[in-house]
Chain A
Amino acid sequence: MLEIRGLTASIGEKPILKGIDLTVPDGEVHAIMGPNGAGKSTLGYVLSGRDDYTVTGGSVVYNGVDLLDMAPEQRAAAGVFLAFQAPIELPGVNNANFLRTALNAIRRAHGESELDAVQFLKLARIETKRLAMPDDMLKRNVNVGFSGGEKKRNEVLQMALLRPSLAILDETDSGLDIDALRIVADGVNALRAPTFSALVITHHQRLLDRLVPNRVHVLAHGRIVRSGGPELARELEKNGYADLLAEAA
């Protein structure tokens, strides 16, 4: 279970998160919606430990441990995965090698044996096939020369291989066509289990149609201004954020 209490964070002198309270029980998928600049991506970065943000108050406890005390790689080992809105290119770094290094780092942290290249490729091919990705995606350099859609699919592939218990998807659906969108949704749905939970940051109802979140939260001005069931997303799709923002202000 993820429990966020009174979380405030700033970048430089500028406060971005102004007191987030949010609980995501195991087994649930929660959607985070809200206007641009509300702090949605910041929330994802702060939960996964990016340095550029300073946490100024509050707590984040995941499965009983304080995430805020941990380095990013420790959080990854604890099961936290962030699918980046703009995945990073790593020139000269082979995708398969990157994924195997990451997977083995996490396996090591869990006291599991490392996979050799052959074992890894076997596993990776199953996932690429399931995600309808060409095999050569593994041979190419990490995200270099990938189309926008390919980058997002690569994030989903990483998620499928690393099997996190808490996935944070930062607008992984934006800019995707219907087929790619289905792949993202299927990627998350495939991981669904009583021990898995996800925070899905999105602007679009079409992803939520396939994902069907347990809860929808609206983040605006650094706070959660409203929470509800899946119907809240449909309402927002129809009416926009204007009413909500006026209410919150």
Chain B
Amino acid sequence: MSTTAETIDAISTGYKWGFETDIEMDLAPKGLNEDIVRLISARKNEPDWLLEYRLKAFAAWQKMEEPDWARVAHPPIDYQDLHYYAAPKKKDGPKSLDEVDPELLKMYEKLGIPLKERAVLAGVVDDRPQIAVDAVFDSVSVATTYREALSKVGVIFCPISEAVRDHPDLVQQYLGSVVPVADNYFSALNAAVFTDGSFCYIPKGVRCPMELSTYFRINARNTGQFERTLIVAEAGAHVSYLEGCTAPQRDENQLHAAVVELIAMDDATIKYSTVQNWYPGDENGKGGIYNFVTKRGVCRGARSKISWTQVETGSAITWKYPSCVLIGEDSVGEFYSVAVTTHHQQADTGTKMIHIGKGSTSTIVSKGISAGKSNNTYRGLVRMLPSADGARNHTQCDSLLIGDTCGAHTVPYIESRNPSARVEHEATTSKIDEEKLFYCRQRGLTEEDAVNLIVNGFCKEVLKELPMEFAVEAQKLLAVSLEGSVG
């Protein structure tokens, strides 16, 4: 017993992304009302249709109630005590990377986010994969790299606020088409006050030549971050998208309510990977991000595919169910998830697979790791509609417990209205027990290395779905989250 207890002790607040950056900010006054919604829209010079969209969302939100069905508990959120707009002060948007505030560039460098495009030199071979990055700092996008290279093949990758200006038809056509304004409390809030996020459009038949990624950073105090991401893959298009997030270490809780919408046409593939590393709060449960996120993709076309991979280590509360609506015939939905909770973290996460198209298939692999006094819940819905002839789902849901003061919960909802559809659900719960640890230590591994090895083995099926560089990052993150081996 004592060994496990020591392991738990070793799990400390090893959050190395908790620093704060001193940047002069343009802050909206605290509080939420129609004027604030109008102010955000005005700051962003938005067209009327978008302001109307926001106001409609705000009206819907006011009539809604915060959902209480998730296995998470928190003091009531005072939505009037937040800033809904926070942007680094500047005269005009940076025209190029050279114009980005050096303090910001320094911060992203510290986070390991490359905001410099690597020059292609004649005769110099650089094997490192190119990744285009959109960096969102509090409410606005501060830089997007590789835009020129991408635009050569017709790929649009830019801050959504810019897309509203430069590609209004596309944005208007798709915004809210997957997650309607009044879908849920947090998505309605997001629709009313979202400030920035990324927009990606991959034209017909184009395989995006590099990974696209958005890096979200909450910096300002008492600020909510509400970003909006929209990815459209036309017929036969292919894209892999990565999302990363961190926040400074603060004693108060901060609200993050994002909406991500994905649209895949015939034969298109969207792979969306997240490494979520918001500040989780300290070992006493003080501070941390409240992460209430709506992520949904729709496979509109035949043989289209949407794959969600997430590694969730941060946030005080995670409320997140990346989902797939499988409309197209033989369309494919995938959800691979690792959720780690320690200390007092609470995660209620999973997915929804809605099968509408004939022969649609979905795979769910969920790995929950709980330590400390945390609670980790998998909540997943698999729904087979009458039209989903021959549809199939396989769900694998595994929980790993470290110590005996944490909780793991599995809440599957399965609805089948088509007799030819097949749904399989497997679930296991295991412990990192004395036996496994002792076996490893007897072979010479330290306790930390042993925990690491066992946890990585447990998550392997999910980690291998991540793009390679991200997988390495995720492994390190798991190690830090679980062991307090502060870097």
Contacts and interface: CB of A to CB of B under 8 A. Distances in A.
Interface of A: 48-52, 71-73, 75-77, 81-82, 84, 87-88, 90-94, 97-98, 101-103, 105-106, 109, 141, 158, 162
B442 interface: yes
B461 interface: yes
B2 A88 contact: no
B441 A72 contact: yes
Chain B: interface size category: 20 to 34
Given A49-B442, A51-B1, A51-B434, 5 more contacts: A49-B441, A51-B3, A73-B447, A97-B453, A105-B446
Which of A50, A72, A109, A162 has the largest count of B CB atoms less than 10 A from its CB?
A72
A222 to B, nearest CB: 22
A14 to B, nearest CB: 16
B457 A73 contact: no
A98 B453 contact: yes
A11 B457 CA distance: 31
A76 B459 contact: no
Given A51-B3, A90-B454, A101-B449, A82 B442 contact: yes
B144 to A, nearest CB: 37
Contacts of A105: 443-446, 449
Contacts of A98: 440, 443, 453
B435 interface: yes
Nearest to B461: A92
Contacts of B53: none
Nearest to B453: A93
Contacts of B1: 51
Main DSSP-derived SS at the B contact region: helix
Contacts of A73: 441-442, 444-447
B439 interface: yes
B453 A101 contact: yes
Interface in B423-471: 430, 434-436, 438-447, 449, 453-454, 456-461
A91 B458 contact: yes
A93 B454 contact: yes
26 contacts: A49-B441, A49-B442, A51-B3, A71-B441, A73-B445, A73-B446, A76-B441, A76-B442, A77-B444, A81-B442, A84-B442, A88-B435, A88-B436, A90-B453, A90-B454, A91-B457, A93-B453, A93-B457, A94-B457, A97-B453, A98-B443, A102-B444, A105-B445, A105-B446, A141-B457, A162-B443
B434 A92 contact: no
